[in-house]
């Protein structure tokens, strides 16, 4: 199949391309690099505000929140054009794609104005406090407690793998507010400013580099959070969690297709085995885009198909991981040289996507974990597509 667009979508694309031509920062301006996924350099803050003010940050949003009420197909071509130019959507991706989106779906009008709009305008940055020791993919096992005490909640517990927490201004934090409720109930969501007394953030290095301090442990010790920072209903945070990840998943397959396209452009096969693997990479990219286009058409018709999104995430994330491993293997010892540049440098992109083959392979594992692990996605497919009994 070939995805084609009506005239209104192509006019939308042309208008966005004209905006990029007139407003994209030049290379000299975009020199400062981010330190984490919640550290947005000043030039990138200005660029994000420029997009917000012109309705190009998240086109599907209403104008007051950085969009222009765009259709799903218009949102797709917007992301497609960013990808073609290797322009990173936001240097605070969770703040933009999950936290602000969750506030717009579940927050009060006051929370939208106080938190969502400043995040979208890059005036503040945000991180997602979900995973805990012993509760990574299984959010329902979280143990961080929040106890109501008058006009505040008192929070105690720990989060881990909290990307960007060391640089973020606020954490969207999942806590247990009813310890006697069943696992998937009794969970609530709080906005916790990181400068609140009792919040301790401890960044730690990843396998990618000794100076890669994006991951964090976050400790809460008698942290007092105003009741008005409760997002959604008390004890109904599971729905917020599903909605938060839903925002991330709708067009998530496109980010994996982008990584596959990057690998097609950056990896140069040298042996017969490399060429065979390169052909597999090209076929995986085409298959993902065709299946994604079918899902996009269903979404445009208003059809919800969570299981299909799980298929796309499995295919996309695992294809990127496999192709990254093959590129590292094909590069031989040179693939282990780190730091290194394996793609044309573009200042508007995330540097990780052009780093050494070792780092690109190591980072590919995040795709099979974040947003729901491959194991969880396979369970969804087994139950909702194949009709297998629940385990």
Whether pLDDT at 390 is above 70: yes
Q: Where a domain ends, among 183, 206, 235?
A: 235
Q: Tell me if 2 is assigned to some domain.
A: no
Residue 51 in any domain: the answer is: yes
263-278 residues labelled b (16+ CB within 10 A) or e (exposed): beebbebeeeebeebb
Same domain, 264 and 315: yes
- Mean pLDDT, the chain, integer: 93
Final residue in a domain of this structure, among 235, 268, 288: 235
Residue 320 covered by a domain: yes
pLDDT given for residue 58 in this prediction: 97
CB 8 within 8 A of CB 16: no
Regarding whether 378 and 254 lie in a shared domain, the answer is yes
pLDDT above 80 (res 316): yes
Positions annotated as catalytic residues are 248
Examine residue 109 and state whether it is found in any structural domain, yes or no. Answer: no
Residue 198: CATH number of its domain = 2.40.110.10
Q: What share of the chain is helix, strand, coil (3-state, %, to 5)?
A: 50, 15, 35
Residues 274 and 357 occupy one common structural domain: yes
User: Are residues 374 and 254 both part of a single domain?
Assistant: yes
Find out whether 333 and 272 touch, Cβ atoms under 8 Å: no
Task: Assess whether pLDDT exceeds 60 at residue 154.
Answer: yes
Q: In terms of Cα–Cα distance, which of 320, 366, 352, 312 is closest to 136?
A: 366
Considering the domain architecture, whether residues 377 and 274 belong to the same structural domain is answered as yes
Query: For a pLDDT cut of 70, what percent of the chain falls above it?
Result: 97
Query: Do 201 and 228 share a domain, yes or no?
Result: yes
- Confidence bin at 376 (pLDDT 50/70/90): confident
Indicate whether 344 belongs to any domain: yes
Q: Do 273 and 191 belong to one domain?
A: no
Residues 221 and 259 in one domain: no
| C-alpha closest to that of 370 among 215, 188, 211, 237 | 215
pLDDT score of 249 more than 70: no
- Please determine, for residue 377, whether its predicted confidence score (pLDDT) is greater than 90: no
Cβ neighbours for 239, distance < 8 A, ≥ 6 positions apart: 106, 232
Q: How many domains does the chain have?
A: 3
275 and 312: one domain?
A: yes
Kindly state whether residue 113 falls inside one of the protein's structural domains.
no
- CATH code, domain with 300: 1.20.140.10
pTM value is 0.93
Q: Which of 169, 200, 235 is the last residue of a domain?
A: 235
Q: How many residues does the chain have?
A: 391
Please indicate, yes or no, if residue 110 is contained in any of the structural domains: no
Q: Do 303 and 345 fall into the same domain?
A: yes
The answer to whether residues 380 and 264 belong to one domain is yes
Residues 263 and 185 in one domain: no
Residue 2 has pLDDT above 60, yes or no: no
Q: What is the pLDDT of residue 134?
A: 84
The reported pLDDT for the residue numbered 315 is 95
Residue 107 lies in a domain: no
- Expressed as residue numbers, the domain containing 60 is 7-91
- Sorting pLDDT into bands at 50, 70 and 90, what band is 245? low
Q: Is the pLDDT of residue 95 over 90?
A: yes
Most confident of 197-206, 303-312, 377-386: 197-206
């Amino acid at each position: 199949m070939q995805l084609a667009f009506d005239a209104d979508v192509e006019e939308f694309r042309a208008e966005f391309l004209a905006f990029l031509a007139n407003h994209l920062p030049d290379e000299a301006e975009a020199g400062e690099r981010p330190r984490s996924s919640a550290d947005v350099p000043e030039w990138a803050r200005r660029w994000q505000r420029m997009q917000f003010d012109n309705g190009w940050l998240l086109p599907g949003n209403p104008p007051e929140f950085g969009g222009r009420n765009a259709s799903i197909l218009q949102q797709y071509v917007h992301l497609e054009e960013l990808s073609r130019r290797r322009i990173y959507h936001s240097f605070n991706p969770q703040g933009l794609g999950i936290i602000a989106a969750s506030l717009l779906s579940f927050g009060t009008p006051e929370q939208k104005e106080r938190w969502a709009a400043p995040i979208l305008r890059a005036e503040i940055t945000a991180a997602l406090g979900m995973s805990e020791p012993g509760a990574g993919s299984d959010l329902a096992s979280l143990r961080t407690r929040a106890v109501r005490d008058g006009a505040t909640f008192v929070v105690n517990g720990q989060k881990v793998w909290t990307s960007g927490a060391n640089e973020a201004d606020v954490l969207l934090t999942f806590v247990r507010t009813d310890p006697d409720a069943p696992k998937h109930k009794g969970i609530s969501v709080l906005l916790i400013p990181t400068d609140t007394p009792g919040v301790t953030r401890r960044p730690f290095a990843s396998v990618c580099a000794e100076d890669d301090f994006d991951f964090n442990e976050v400790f809460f010790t008698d942290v007092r959070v105003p009741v008005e920072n409760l997002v959604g209903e008390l004890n109904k945070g599971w729905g917020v969690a599903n909605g938060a990840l839903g925002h991330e998943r709708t067009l998530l397959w496109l980010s994996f297709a982008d990584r596959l396209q990057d690998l097609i452009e950056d990896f140069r096969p040298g042996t017969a085995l490399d060429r065979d693997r390169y052909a597999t990479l090209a076929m995986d990219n085409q298959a993902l885009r065709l299946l994604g286009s079918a899902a996009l058409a269903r979404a445009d018709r208003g059809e919800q198909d969570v299981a299909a999104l799980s298929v796309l995430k499995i295919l996309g994330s695992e294809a990127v991981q496999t192709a990254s491993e093959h590129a590292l293997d094909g590069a031989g010892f040179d693939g282990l040289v780190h730091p290194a540049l394996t793609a044309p440098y573009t200042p508007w992109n995330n540097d990780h996507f052009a780093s050494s083959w070792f780092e690109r392979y190591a980072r590919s594992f995040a795709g099979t974990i974040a947003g729901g692990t491959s194991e969880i996605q396979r369970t969804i497919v087994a139950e909702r597509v194949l009709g297998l009994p629940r385990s």
